[in-house]
Amino acid sequence: MGSVVALIPARGGSKRIPKKNIRLFHGKPLIAYSIETAKESGLFDRIVVSTDDGEIARIAEEEGAEVPFLRDAEYADDFTTATEAVEHSLRRLEREGVAIDFACTIYPTAPLLEASYLLKGFEKLRNSDAWYAFSATSMPFPIWRTFRLTEEGHCEMFWPEYFATRSQDLEEAYQDAGQFYWERRKPGKPPFRFDANALPVLLPRWMVQDIDTLEDWERAELMHRVLKEMERR
């Protein structure tokens, strides 16, 4: 029987928000929230942080995660995708003798995530023949009525045939929430795509916030504050 592993990818080279993964978010390093949520779920045999940065490694260990190795430099530059970095780290664990049945990538920028959704994802994947289960949420506006800007600065609808259609008559669309990704670790695993091999775990929109800019950060802090106030009522 293999193990269930959480892998939190956290490189040190954030450009738009310096030291984003360990910047204080309501008094705690941002990455601490993802580590705490993984621990709270009770699902994982190991909670591993993959980083190239010594300071991130130290803080991650203080928060209760493992950092068994520092990520190779070639998997920590601006051109390596998160998927490539995660796969490299999981394969290194496996080469070092860790038998993994299920792995869950949890992003370090998910301070609003609740452990119950990790549990839902795991159960959904384990009880299916799919390869992946991932966090998703509904789009806040019908994508069918969206438009692009032309080179002249004019509007050009993607689907002009839906301009006069009522919003409630348009099919709802969903997006990747970018918070966690469960996967089976077996030979023959297909690449992650939005297809029949991947099961969405729907999160409410008020729990989803990318943190790529300072504006995103401030919005996430406001959302977190409101959620905590609601819990106290």
Q: What is the pLDDT of residue 232?
A: 76
Alpha carbon separation from 192 to 30, 32, 152 (Å, rounded): 26, 27, 37
Q: What is the pLDDT of residue 73?
A: 80
Residue 1 reports pLDDT greater than 80:
no
Q: Mean pLDDT throughout 53-72?
A: 96
Give the integer Cα–Cα distance in Å for 100 and 105: 13
Residue 79 reports pLDDT greater than 90:
no
Q: Mean pLDDT throughout 76-82?
A: 82
Residue 231 reports pLDDT greater than 90:
no
Q: How high is the mean pLDDT of the chain?
A: 94
Q: Mean pLDDT throughout 38-54?
A: 97
Residue 233 reports pLDDT greater than 80:
no
Residue 88 reports pLDDT greater than 90:
yes
Q: Domain spans of the chain?
A: 3-139+174-232
0.85 cut: is pTM over it?
A: yes
Q: Mean pLDDT throughout 32-46?
A: 98
What stretches of the chain show up as alpha helix (H) in DSSP? 30-41, 54-62, 82-95, 115-126, 214-232
Looking at domain 3-139+174-232, which CATH architecture does it have?
Alpha-Beta Complex (3.90)
pLDDT digits (tens, 9 = 90+) for 136-168: 999 999 999 999 999 999 999 999 999 999 999
Residue 115 reports pLDDT greater than 80:
yes
Q: What is the pLDDT of residue 108?
A: 97
- Give percent of the chain above pLDDT 70: 100
Residue 11 CB partners (closer than 8 Å, separation 6+): 21, 51, 52, 53, 71, 76, 85
Q: What is the pLDDT of residue 91?
A: 95
- Give percent of the chain above pLDDT 90: 88
Q: Token pair 């919003």 is at which residue?
A: 167
Buried b (16+ CB within 10 A) or exposed e, 159-185: eeebeeeeeeeeeeeeeebbbbbbbbb
pLDDT digits (tens, 9 = 90+) for 6-17: 999 999 878 789
